[in-house]
Chains A and B, each alone.
Chain A
Amino acid sequence: MDPSSLLQYLITGLTLGSTYGLTALGFTIIFNTTGVINFAQGEFVMLGGMMSVYFMHALGLGEPSAVVLAVLGATMAGALVERLAIRPVRDCPTINLIIITIGVSILIRGLAMLLWGKDTHVLEPFSGNQPIMFLGAAIMPQAIWVLAISLFLLAALKLFFSGTIHGKAMLACSFDSKAASLVGIGVQRMVLLSFMISAFVGAVGGVILAPITMTSYDVGIMLGLKGFAACILGGLGNPFGAAAGGLILGVLESMGAGFVSSAYKDALAFVILLILLFVKPSGLFGPKDSKRV
Chain B
Amino acid sequence: MKATKCVVALVAYLLACVPAFGGDAIKIGAILSVTGPASFLGEPEKNTLVMLQEQINAAGGVNGQQLEVIIYDDESDVNKCVMAAKKLLDQDQVAVVIGPSISGNTLAISKFFSSAEVPLISCAAAEKIVRPVDPWIFNTPQLDRHAVSRILMDARDKGYKRLAILTVSDGYGQAGRAVLKELVPAEGFELAADEVYGPKDTDMTAQLTKIKGASADAIICWGTNPGPAVVARNRVQLGLDTPLYMSHGVASGKFIELAGDAAEGLVLPAGRLVAVDQLPADHPQKPVLEAYVADYTKAFGPQISSFGGYAHDAFALVMEAIKMGGSAKSGDIRDNLEKISGFAGTSGVYTYSPENHNGLDESAFIMVTIENGTWKVLN
Q: Please, how many angstroms separate the alpha-carbon atoms of A16 and B197 in the complex?
A: 14
- B224-266 with Cβ < 8 A to chain A: 225-226, 229-230, 236-239, 254, 257-258, 260-261
Bin chain B's interface residue count. 20 to 34
| A262-B207 contact, Cβ under 8 Å, with A118-B40, A214-B226, A214-B229 | yes
A2, A214, A255, A262: the one within 8 Å of B197 (CB): A262
Docked Cα-Cα span, A266 to B206, in Å, equals 13
Are the CB atoms of A9 and B206 closer together than 8 Å?
yes
With A257-B210, A265-B206 already in contact, the answer to whether A129 and B261 are too (CB < 8 A) is yes
Contacts of A222 in B (CB 8 A): 200
A118-B40, A138-B238 given; A9·B209 CB < 8 A: yes
- A265 partner residues in chain B, CB cutoff 8 A: 206
Nearest chain A CB to B180 CB, angstrom units: 14
**Shortest distance from the beta carbon of B252 to any chain A beta carbon, whole Å:** 11
Residues of B within 8 A of A12 (CB): 203, 205-206, 209
B260 proximity list for chain A (CB < 8 A): 122
In the complex, whether B57 has a CB less than 8 A from a CB of chain A is: no
Query: What total count of A-B pairs have CB within 8 Å?
Result: 82
Kindly supply a per-residue 1/0 record for chain B positions 67-92, scoring 1 wherever the CB is within 8 Å of any chain A CB and 0 otherwise.
00000000000000000000000000
Q: Contact: B203 with A16, CB < 8 Å?
A: yes
Most buried by A among B209, B213, B236, B260: B209
- A281 sits at the interface (CB 8 A): no
Residue of A with least CB distance to B254: A119
Whether B320 is near chain A, meaning CB under 8 Å from some CB there, is: no
Contacts of B196 in A (CB 8 A): 261-263
A261→B207 CA distance, assembly (Å): 9
Chain A residues in 8 Å Cβ range of B257 = 122
Residues of A within 8 A of B210 (CB): 5, 257-258, 262
8 Å CB interface, B191-206 against A: 195-198, 200, 202-203, 205-206
Q: How far is the CB of B39 from chain A (nearest CB, A)?
A: 5
CA A8 – CA B169 in complex, angstroms?
23
Establish whether residues B195 and A262, one from each chain, have CB atoms under 8 Å apart when the complex forms. Answer: yes
Contact for B209 among A216, A219, A258, A261, CB less than 8 A = A258
Asked whether any CB of chain B lies closer than 8 Å to the CB of A197, the reply is no
Can you name 10 extra interface pairs (CB under 8 A) apart from A214-B258, A219-B202?
A8-B205, A118-B40, A118-B43, A120-B226, A120-B229, A209-B202, A212-B202, A214-B226, A258-B210, A262-B196
Q: Can you report 7 residue pairs joining A to B where beta carbons are below 8 Å apart?
A: A5-B210, A138-B238, A213-B230, A221-B200, A257-B210, A262-B210, A263-B169
